[in-house]
Amino acid sequence: MSYDFNFTFIWNNFDVVLMGLVNSLRLAALSIPIAMALGLLLALIYVDGHRIGRGLVAGYVEVVRNAPLLLWVYLVFYGVPQATGLRYDREVSFVATLSCYGAAYLVEVFRSGLESVPRGQIDAGYAIGMTSPQVLLHVRLPTMFRIILPALSNSCISLFKDTSIAMVLGIPELAFTAQWINTSTFRVVEAWMVIVPLYLVTTYAIIFALRRLERRFKVA
């Protein structure tokens, strides 16, 4: 059987497709910094905190990582408002969910980085009169970030791809755009032939930028 390709509808509405890509990047740009901040805070609690704090962080990581992101998206958007009476829009709900989900993975990345900082550097900081916050800010964190850049880059790319889950909440990101084309024209093949390359090009552009950053700050 031959298939008659027809991209007319997509080309006529390509501005909508590009807006979907912009929305995907915006969701990632909002979620990733929050996930990094939360993940770093939890990693510091795990590495430097009390045993109770370490237990709570370990429990958070296990619970969040061992359930699908889609489940958490539905739970936060539908379940939490019903149980608590809180009201928030779908983008706030998704960004909060993706941030907390990403933080559960980044905790392990930051933890391994903090534990990889040579003890000699930390002792040297204390030896010249630095306080614990100064050692953290000027010695541990800069060294840690240089160590974990490859793993951190992979996590950021994964979080960008996870923005496609926002489709289930009706957020008009790139995957939602493909579904809109499918339901409008029933041109499933053409829709994904356009959307998938956009994901690939965007992902490789992010990879290229992050790899340059890794080479710039890599540990010799």
Token pair 């992050």 is at which residue? 210
| pLDDT tens, the chain, 220 aa long | 677 888 888 899 999 999 999 999 999 999 999 999 999 999 999 999 889 999 999 999 999 999 999 999 999 999 999 999 888 999 999 999 999 999 999 999 999 999 999 999 999 999 999 999 999 999 999 999 988 988 999 999 999 999 999 999 999 999 999 999 988 888 888 889 999 999 999 999 999 998 888 888 776 5
Q: Which of 12, 21, 7 is nearest to 161 (CA)?
A: 21
Go through the domains of the chain in sequence order and give each one's CATH number. 12-217 (1.10.3720.10)
Question: What's the gap between Cα 113 and its chain centre?
Answer: 18
142: tokens are 């800069």
Strands, E assignment, 71-138: none
Cα dihedral 163, 169, 175, 176 sign: negative
Return the closest-CA partner of residue 93 out of 105, 106, 81. Answer: 81
Q: pTM for this one?
A: 0.91
Distance CA 49, CA 203 (A): 36
DSSP, residue by residue, 35-88: HHHHHHHHHHHHHHS-HHHHHHHHHHHHHHHTS-HHHHHHIIIIIHHHHH----
Contact 191, 167 (CB under 8 A): no
